[in-house]
A = this chain, B = another copy of it.
Amino acid sequence: MFDKYFDEYEIGEQRVFPGYTITESHVVGFAGIVGDHYPLHMNAEYARSSRFGQRIAHGFLVLSASSGMFPLVPGIVVAFYGMDDVRFLAPTFLGDTLDCEHEVIGLRAKDVRAGVVSVRQTLRNQRGEAVCVATLHILIARGPDGT
Which residues of chain A have a CB within 8 Å of any CB of chain B?
18-21, 23-40, 42-46, 50-51, 55, 58-61, 63-65, 67-69, 72, 74, 77, 79-88, 95, 97, 126, 147
Contacts and interface: CB of A to CB of B under 8 A. Distances in A.
Copies of this chain per assembly = 6
A60 B51 contact: no
A34 B64 contact: yes
Contacts of A40: 74
Contacts of A83: 83, 86
A147 B64 contact: no
Given A18-B74, A24-B24, A72-B36, A97 B29 contact: no
A21 B36 contact: no
